[in-house]
A and B are shown apart, each in its own frame.
Chain A
Amino acid sequence: EVQLVESGGDLVQPGQSLRISCTTSGFSFVHYPMSWVRQAPGKGLEWVGFIRSKAYGGTAEYAASVKGRFTISRDDSKSIAYLEISSLKSEDSGIFYCGRESVGAIGDWGQGTLVTVSS
């Protein structure tokens, strides 16, 4: 069974940094690109970025709205994807989901982790 479990969400102050994790099981993580999606309170889904599998360079792409502050990485030995957010702003608050991709489409989702940015 494919499982994705996000963790690391927290209450943080503006300007701080945070790293959230997506721990996976039930599939061969090394072969799959992984996406991160955020959802602000009461709003829709917003794609923030994805990381390719190592076979395709292991590089990451980001939405224009987060480029420069968000960094996606992966540890294939642990089957974990990471999202690091720097210089957190109040508008970054929301639930962050990771997703396993299949040719661009997100085919499996985690349950999400809540990030609250407030002083």
Chain B
Amino acid sequence: QLVLTQSPSASASLGASVKLTCTLSSGHSTYGIAWHQQQPEKGPRYLMKFNSDGSHNRGDGIPDRFSGSSSGAEHYLTISSLQPEDEADYYCQTWGNDIRVFGGGTKLTVL
């Protein structure tokens, strides 16, 4: 079963960096991943995508403070120089031929 696992919460100080983790279920480590941000009381916003072939792209207007990486089944979203507006829920998303899946989300608090 295709599942994404995220830690429920994370925190970091203003101006610091934080690394959020999204883990693909066993047997699915080569699947692509997308990251989405949802600020309080707003709809989701696409941040970036990592494909199974290693290619990736950042969404329009997304600052390069947001970057992604991966190691095996683990995907990471790193946010540097944290700003107050980065306080939000972050969701990873993956896909198969006939299914899409979201992780449970990580609530990021900027201290």
Q: Which residues of B contact A (CB under 8 A)?
A: 32, 34, 36, 38, 43-46, 49, 51, 59, 89, 91, 93-96, 98-105
Contact = CB atoms under 8 A, between A and B. Distances in A.
Given A105-B95, A106-B93, A107-B49, A47 B102 contact: yes
Contacts of B32: 103-105
Interface in A6-61: 35, 37, 44-47, 50, 61
A107 B104 CA distance: 19
A44 B44 CA distance: 11
Nearest to B49: A105
A107 B32 CA distance: 13
A45 B100 contact: no
B43 A111 contact: yes
A50 B43 contact: no
A107 B58 CA distance: 10
Given A109-B44, A109-B46, A47 B51 contact: no
Contacts of B49: 102, 105, 107
A112 B43 contact: yes
